[in-house]
Amino acid sequence: MGMAKLAKDKHITRFMKGIFNLRPSLPRYTFTWNVGTVLKYLSQLYPNENLSLKMLTLKCIALFALSSAQRSQTLVNLDLRFVSVTDNSLIFKIPVLLKTTKPNKSNVDVIIHKYQKQENCPVRCIKHYILRTKDVRKSKNLFISFKTFKHVTTSTIARWLKIVLGNAGIDINKFKSSFRSASTSATKQAGISLNDILKTANWRSAYTFQKFYFKDIETPLPSYTETVFNSYL
Protein backbone atom coordinates (compact mmCIF):
# COMPACT_ATOMS: atom_id res chain seq x y z
CA MET A 1 0.00 0.00 0.00
CA GLY A 2 1.42 3.39 -1.03
CA MET A 3 1.84 6.26 1.42
CA ALA A 4 -1.03 8.22 -0.14
CA LYS A 5 -3.45 5.31 0.21
CA LEU A 6 -2.13 4.53 3.69
CA ALA A 7 -2.89 8.07 4.84
CA LYS A 8 -6.48 7.70 3.65
CA ASP A 9 -7.04 4.25 5.15
CA LYS A 10 -10.10 4.46 7.42
CA HIS A 11 -8.47 2.36 10.16
CA ILE A 12 -5.37 4.58 10.22
CA THR A 13 -7.52 7.71 10.17
CA ARG A 14 -9.67 6.44 13.02
CA PHE A 15 -6.57 5.48 15.02
CA MET A 16 -4.94 8.90 14.60
CA LYS A 17 -8.18 10.65 15.55
CA GLY A 18 -8.32 8.55 18.70
CA ILE A 19 -4.78 9.60 19.61
CA PHE A 20 -5.69 13.27 19.12
CA ASN A 21 -8.76 12.91 21.33
CA LEU A 22 -6.66 11.32 24.07
CA ARG A 23 -3.86 13.89 23.89
CA PRO A 24 -4.96 16.84 21.77
CA SER A 25 -2.20 19.17 20.56
CA LEU A 26 -3.57 22.34 22.09
CA PRO A 27 -1.78 25.45 23.40
CA ARG A 28 -1.19 25.64 27.15
CA TYR A 29 -3.36 28.75 27.30
CA THR A 30 -5.28 30.76 24.69
CA PHE A 31 -5.15 34.12 26.45
CA THR A 32 -2.62 35.95 28.56
CA TRP A 33 -2.66 38.27 31.55
CA ASN A 34 -3.38 41.96 31.27
CA VAL A 35 -0.19 44.04 31.25
CA GLY A 36 -2.10 46.85 32.94
CA THR A 37 -2.58 44.73 36.05
CA VAL A 38 1.17 44.32 36.50
CA LEU A 39 1.93 47.94 35.64
CA LYS A 40 -0.58 49.12 38.24
CA TYR A 41 1.20 47.01 40.86
CA LEU A 42 4.65 48.24 39.78
CA SER A 43 3.52 51.87 39.93
CA GLN A 44 2.87 51.37 43.63
CA LEU A 45 6.56 50.53 44.11
CA TYR A 46 7.59 54.16 44.06
CA PRO A 47 9.63 56.24 44.73
CA ASN A 48 12.45 53.95 43.60
CA GLU A 49 14.76 55.47 46.20
CA ASN A 50 12.58 54.09 49.00
CA LEU A 51 12.58 50.49 47.77
CA SER A 52 14.72 47.73 49.21
CA LEU A 53 17.30 46.36 46.77
CA LYS A 54 15.18 43.22 46.37
CA MET A 55 12.04 45.13 45.40
CA LEU A 56 14.00 47.51 43.18
CA THR A 57 15.52 44.51 41.40
CA LEU A 58 12.12 42.89 40.88
CA LYS A 59 10.64 46.13 39.57
CA CYS A 60 13.53 46.72 37.17
CA ILE A 61 13.51 43.21 35.73
CA ALA A 62 9.75 43.35 35.20
CA LEU A 63 9.84 46.76 33.50
CA PHE A 64 12.77 45.66 31.34
CA ALA A 65 11.04 42.43 30.33
CA LEU A 66 7.81 44.24 29.44
CA SER A 67 9.45 47.04 27.48
CA SER A 68 11.92 44.85 25.57
CA ALA A 69 10.01 41.57 25.01
CA GLN A 70 13.28 39.67 25.45
CA ARG A 71 13.73 36.12 26.72
CA SER A 72 15.48 35.36 30.00
CA GLN A 73 18.67 34.32 28.20
CA THR A 74 19.04 37.83 26.82
CA LEU A 75 18.18 39.53 30.11
CA VAL A 76 20.79 37.53 32.02
CA ASN A 77 23.50 38.50 29.50
CA LEU A 78 22.95 42.27 29.57
CA ASP A 79 26.37 43.77 30.27
CA LEU A 80 27.15 47.23 31.65
CA ARG A 81 30.31 47.34 29.54
CA PHE A 82 28.19 47.29 26.40
CA VAL A 83 25.50 49.87 27.14
CA SER A 84 24.99 53.36 25.75
CA VAL A 85 23.11 55.66 28.11
CA THR A 86 21.18 58.73 26.95
CA ASP A 87 18.56 60.93 28.58
CA ASN A 88 15.78 59.04 26.83
CA SER A 89 17.05 55.50 26.30
CA LEU A 90 19.36 52.63 27.17
CA ILE A 91 20.93 50.70 24.29
CA PHE A 92 22.48 47.33 25.08
CA LYS A 93 24.68 45.39 22.69
CA ILE A 94 24.71 41.64 23.35
CA PRO A 95 28.30 40.32 23.06
CA VAL A 96 27.51 36.62 23.56
CA LEU A 97 25.92 33.90 21.46
CA LEU A 98 22.20 33.58 22.02
CA LYS A 99 19.61 31.05 20.94
CA THR A 100 18.69 33.32 18.03
CA THR A 101 22.27 34.14 16.99
CA LYS A 102 23.02 33.19 13.38
CA PRO A 103 26.37 32.89 11.55
CA ASN A 104 27.61 36.14 10.00
CA LYS A 105 24.86 38.14 11.69
CA SER A 106 25.28 40.09 14.92
CA ASN A 107 22.71 40.19 17.70
CA VAL A 108 20.06 42.89 17.55
CA ASP A 109 20.57 45.75 20.03
CA VAL A 110 18.17 45.80 22.97
CA ILE A 111 16.73 49.30 23.30
CA ILE A 112 14.75 50.58 26.28
CA HIS A 113 12.95 53.90 25.87
CA LYS A 114 11.92 56.46 28.45
CA TYR A 115 8.28 56.43 29.61
CA GLN A 116 6.44 59.61 30.54
CA LYS A 117 5.05 58.31 33.86
CA GLN A 118 8.00 58.37 36.23
CA GLU A 119 6.73 55.62 38.52
CA ASN A 120 6.89 53.09 35.67
CA CYS A 121 9.70 54.52 33.56
CA PRO A 122 12.13 51.64 32.84
CA VAL A 123 15.01 53.99 32.01
CA ARG A 124 14.64 55.91 35.28
CA CYS A 125 14.30 52.68 37.29
CA ILE A 126 17.31 50.97 35.72
CA LYS A 127 19.51 54.06 36.03
CA HIS A 128 18.73 54.17 39.74
CA TYR A 129 19.36 50.42 40.01
CA ILE A 130 22.80 50.81 38.41
CA LEU A 131 23.63 53.66 40.79
CA ARG A 132 22.36 51.74 43.83
CA THR A 133 24.44 48.64 43.02
CA LYS A 134 27.57 50.46 41.86
CA ASP A 135 29.62 49.97 45.03
CA VAL A 136 28.48 46.44 45.89
CA ARG A 137 28.23 44.62 42.57
CA LYS A 138 30.65 41.80 41.80
CA SER A 139 29.63 41.36 38.19
CA LYS A 140 29.42 43.48 35.06
CA ASN A 141 26.08 41.92 34.19
CA LEU A 142 23.22 44.38 34.61
CA PHE A 143 21.08 42.19 36.82
CA ILE A 144 22.80 40.75 39.88
CA SER A 145 21.73 38.86 42.99
CA PHE A 146 20.41 41.16 45.71
CA LYS A 147 22.03 38.81 48.25
CA THR A 148 25.49 37.94 46.86
CA PHE A 149 25.72 40.80 44.32
CA LYS A 150 27.04 38.30 41.74
CA HIS A 151 25.66 37.38 38.32
CA VAL A 152 22.46 35.35 38.18
CA THR A 153 21.14 32.55 35.96
CA THR A 154 18.21 32.41 33.56
CA SER A 155 16.25 30.37 36.10
CA THR A 156 16.71 33.16 38.66
CA ILE A 157 15.44 35.74 36.17
CA ALA A 158 12.40 33.56 35.44
CA ARG A 159 11.76 33.12 39.17
CA TRP A 160 11.92 36.87 39.77
CA LEU A 161 9.40 37.51 37.00
CA LYS A 162 7.13 34.86 38.45
CA ILE A 163 7.32 36.57 41.86
CA VAL A 164 6.24 39.87 40.28
CA LEU A 165 3.26 38.20 38.64
CA GLY A 166 2.21 36.64 41.93
CA ASN A 167 2.59 39.92 43.80
CA ALA A 168 0.43 41.63 41.18
CA GLY A 169 -2.35 39.10 41.68
CA ILE A 170 -1.81 37.10 38.48
CA ASP A 171 -2.51 33.35 38.64
CA ILE A 172 1.06 32.01 38.33
CA ASN A 173 -0.17 28.43 38.11
CA LYS A 174 -1.96 29.32 34.90
CA PHE A 175 0.50 31.69 33.24
CA LYS A 176 3.92 30.76 34.70
CA SER A 177 6.29 33.50 33.45
CA SER A 178 4.80 34.67 30.15
CA PHE A 179 6.14 38.22 29.89
CA ARG A 180 7.06 37.97 26.17
CA SER A 181 3.58 36.82 25.24
CA ALA A 182 1.83 39.46 27.38
CA SER A 183 4.08 42.28 26.18
CA THR A 184 3.89 41.52 22.46
CA SER A 185 0.17 40.69 22.55
CA ALA A 186 -0.54 44.03 24.24
CA THR A 187 1.40 45.99 21.63
CA LYS A 188 -0.26 44.08 18.78
CA GLN A 189 -3.72 44.86 20.13
CA ALA A 190 -2.69 48.49 20.65
CA GLY A 191 -1.94 48.79 16.93
CA ILE A 192 1.85 48.49 16.80
CA SER A 193 2.95 47.11 13.43
CA LEU A 194 3.89 43.45 13.21
CA ASN A 195 7.30 44.39 11.78
CA ASP A 196 8.09 46.55 14.83
CA ILE A 197 7.05 43.74 17.17
CA LEU A 198 9.21 41.19 15.34
CA LYS A 199 12.18 43.55 15.37
CA THR A 200 11.87 44.36 19.08
CA ALA A 201 11.44 40.75 20.16
CA ASN A 202 14.13 39.58 17.70
CA TRP A 203 11.84 37.21 15.80
CA ARG A 204 12.59 36.56 12.14
CA SER A 205 9.24 34.99 11.36
CA ALA A 206 5.71 36.21 11.98
CA TYR A 207 4.74 32.55 12.30
CA THR A 208 6.63 32.25 15.59
CA PHE A 209 4.76 35.20 17.08
CA GLN A 210 1.33 34.24 15.77
CA LYS A 211 1.54 30.58 16.76
CA PHE A 212 3.34 30.67 20.10
CA TYR A 213 3.05 34.16 21.60
CA PHE A 214 0.06 36.16 20.37
CA LYS A 215 -2.85 35.67 22.78
CA ASP A 216 -6.06 37.45 23.65
CA ILE A 217 -5.76 39.65 26.73
CA GLU A 218 -7.53 38.44 29.85
CA THR A 219 -9.92 41.20 30.92
CA PRO A 220 -12.69 41.18 33.53
CA LEU A 221 -15.94 41.07 31.56
CA PRO A 222 -19.52 40.91 32.85
CA SER A 223 -21.00 37.43 32.88
CA TYR A 224 -23.61 36.36 30.36
CA THR A 225 -26.23 36.45 33.10
CA GLU A 226 -25.28 40.00 34.13
CA THR A 227 -25.41 41.16 30.52
CA VAL A 228 -28.86 39.68 29.96
CA PHE A 229 -30.32 40.88 33.24
CA ASN A 230 -28.94 44.39 32.81
CA SER A 231 -30.08 44.71 29.21
CA TYR A 232 -33.44 46.21 30.17
CA LEU A 233 -31.91 49.01 32.27
What is the tens place of the pLDDT at every residue in 37-59? 999 999 999 999 999 999 999 99
> Looking at the domain assignment, is residue 77 inside a domain?
yes
> Looking at the domain assignment, is residue 76 inside a domain?
yes
> Looking at the domain assignment, is residue 140 inside a domain?
yes
> Looking at the domain assignment, is residue 19 inside a domain?
no
> Looking at the domain assignment, is residue 163 inside a domain?
yes
> Looking at the domain assignment, is residue 20 inside a domain?
no
CB 185, CB 213: distance < 8 Å: yes
User: Residue 229 pLDDT more than 50?
Assistant: no
Number of domains in the chain: 1
Mean pLDDT of 9-18: 63
> Looking at the domain assignment, is residue 221 inside a domain?
no
Q: How far is CA 50 from CA 55, 123, 168, 232, in A?
A: 10, 17, 19, 50
Query: Residue 103 maps to which CATH number?
Result: 1.10.443.10
> Looking at the domain assignment, is residue 35 inside a domain?
yes
CA gyration radius, the chain? 22
CB 58, CB 160: distance < 8 Å: yes
pLDDT in tens, 144-177: 999 999 999 999 999 999 999 999 998 888 766 5
For residue 111, what is the enclosing H or E element? strand 110-113
Highest mean predicted confidence (pLDDT) among 26-30, 107-111, 126-130: 126-130
Residue 138 domain boundaries: 31-215
**What share of the chain has pLDDT > 90, as a percent?**
45
Mean pLDDT of 196-224: 56
pTM (predicted TM-score): 0.72
